[in-house]
C-alpha cells in the first residue's frame, strides 16, 4: 500500500516553455501533498505544501507564479513550472500524506521527475 | 539550531558490520520519527517509523528512540553493499509536515 506515482519520470524542454508534472496517490487518499526539489548532491528542499481544494502554501523564496500547484482531488496534484529556465533543471519529487494510514505525518514519496531545461 | 540534525558523513563500514546512524531533534514535543533511505538519483523510501521510547526492530534494521535525550538512531546489522545510500532522518512539524535532516551517506565496503 501507500504507492505514489509521478509522471513524467524525466522531461527535457526548451527554455521558456512550461512543464507540468503529475503526482498521484494510487491506493490511498492524500489529504496533503508536498513538492520538493533536489539539486545534485544536495538535500531535499520543500517547495510547497498543498491540501485538496485549497491554495498551496509556498516556502520562503519559492515563486508561486512560477511554480503553479493544483491539488484538484484527493489523489492528484500537479506542479507546473512556467517559463522554465536552465536554472530550474532539477529533480522534482512529490510526496503524499493521509490521516489514518499510520503514524501522523508519515509521507510517501513518488519516484521523482528529472527536469532538464536546455 | 536546526530542527533535525544528522552527521553528513560519509560513513564507511565493512560488509557484515553494524552501521549506526544518528539523528538529534530540537522539538521536545515531537511524537513520531522516520528514517528514509535514498539511493543516488532516486527518491526517498520510508524504511522505519518509531514513536515510542526504546527499540523497534524490522529485519536487519533497528530504530532507537530516546525522547529524554532527543535523539533517534538507526542500526543496520549485517550491512550489505546494497545498503549503501543516503539515510534521512525526519521529524514532524506542527503543520502536518516533516523536517528532514541533511542525510548521512553510508558506504558499505565489500
| A27-67: pLDDT as tens digits | 888 888 999 999 988 889 999 999 888 889 999 999 999 99
Between the CA of residue A79 and those of A6, A74, A76, B28, what are the distances in Å?
A: 11, 15, 10, 34
Q: Do B103 and A34 touch (CB under 8 A)?
A: no
Query: Mutating which of A44, A48, A91 best tests the B interface, going by the most B Cβ atoms within 10 A?
Result: A44
Separation CA B66–CA B43 (nearest Å): 28
**Helix/strand/coil for A77:** strand
B22, B5 in Cβ contact below 8 A? no
Which stretches does DSSP call E strand in B15-59? 19-25, 33-38, 45-50, 54-58
- pLDDT at residue A100 in the model: 46
Give residues with Cβ within 8 angstroms of B48, minimum separation 6.
B34, B35, B56, B58, B61, B63, B74
Q: Which residue has the higher pLDDT, A98 or A14?
A: A14
Euclidean distance between CA atoms A90 and A100, whole angstroms:
32
What are the CB-based long-range contacts (under 8 Å, 24+) for A66-74? A67/A35, A69/A35, A71/A33, A74/A25, A74/A29, A74/A30, A74/A31
* B52: contact with A, CB 8 A cutoff: no
What's the pLDDT score for residue B9? 81
Q: How many residues does chain B have?
A: 110
Instruction: Please tell me which residue of chain A has the smallest CA distance to B87.
Output: A43
Pairing of strands A76-81, A90-97: unpaired
For cell 501533498, the residue is A33
Phi, psi (degrees; rounded to nearest 5) at A98? -145, 140
- Mean pLDDT by runs of 10 across the 110 residues of chain B is 82 97 88 93 94 93 94 97 96 79 95
User: pLDDT band for position A101 (50/70/90)?
Assistant: very low
Give the mean model confidence (pLDDT) for residues A63-87.
94
What is the H or E stretch that residue A118 is in?
Answer: none
Asked if B3 has any chain A CB less than 8 Å from its own CB, the reply is no
pLDDT at site A29: 87
Dihedral over Cα of A111, A109, B78, B14: its sign: positive
Residue among B92, B38, B50, B75 at smallest CA distance from A109: B38
Identify the three-state secondary structure at position B93: coil
Q: Which helix (H) or strand (E) holds A64?
A: none
Mutation to test the B interface, candidates A52, A105, A107, A116, most B Cβ within 10 Å: A105
CA gap B67, A70 in Å, rounded? 38
Chain A contact present for B95, CB below 8 A:
yes
Banded model confidence at residue A76, pLDDT cuts 50, 70, 90:
very high
Minimum mean pLDDT among A37-41, A93-97, A99-103: which range? A99-103
pLDDT of residue A15: 97
How close B27 gets to chain A, by Cα (Å)?
Answer: 15
State the pLDDT at residue B32: 87
Question: Does B42 sit within 8 Å of A44, measured CB to CB?
Answer: no
Amino acid at each position: 500500500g501507500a504507492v505514489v506515482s509521478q509522471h513524467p519520470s524525466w522531461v527535457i524542454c526548451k527554455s521558456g516553455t512550461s512543464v507540468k508534472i503529475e503526482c498521484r496517490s494510487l491506493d490511498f487518499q492524500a489529504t496533503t501533498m508536498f513538492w520538493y526539489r533536489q539539486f545534485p548532491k544536495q538535500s531535499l528542499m520543500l517547495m510547497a505544501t498543498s491540501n485538496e481544494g485549497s491554495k498551496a502554501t509556498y516556502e520562503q523564496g519559492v515563486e508561486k507564479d512560477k511554480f503553479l500547484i493544483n491539488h484538484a482531488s484527493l489523489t492528484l496534484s500537479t506542479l507546473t513550472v512556467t517559463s522554465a529556465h536552465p536554472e530550474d533543471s532539477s529533480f522534482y519529487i512529490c510526496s503524499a500524506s493521509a490521516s489514518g494510514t499510520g503514524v501522523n505525518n508519515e509521507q510517501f514519496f513518488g519516484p521523482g521527475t528529472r527536469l532538464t531545461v536546455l | 539550531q536546526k530542527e533535525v540534525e544528522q552527521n553528513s558523513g560519509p560513513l564507511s563500514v565493512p560488509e557484515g558490520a553494524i552501521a549506526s546512524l544518528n539523528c538529534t531533534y530540537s522539538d521536545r514535543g515531537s511524537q513520531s520519527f522516520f528514517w528514509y533511505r535514498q539511493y543516488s538519483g532516486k527518491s526517498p523510501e520510508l524504511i522505519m517509523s518509531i514513536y515510542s521510547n526504546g527499540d523497534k526492530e524490522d529485519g536487519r534494521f533497528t530504530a532507537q528512540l530516546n525522547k529524554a535525550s532527543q535523539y533517534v538512531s538507526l542500526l543496520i546489522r549485517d550491512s550489505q553493499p546494497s545498503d549503501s545510500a543516503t539515510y534521512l532522518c525526519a521529524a514532524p512539524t506542527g503543520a502536518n509536515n516533516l523536517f528532514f535532516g541533511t542525510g548521512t551517506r553510508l558506504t558499505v565496503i565489500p
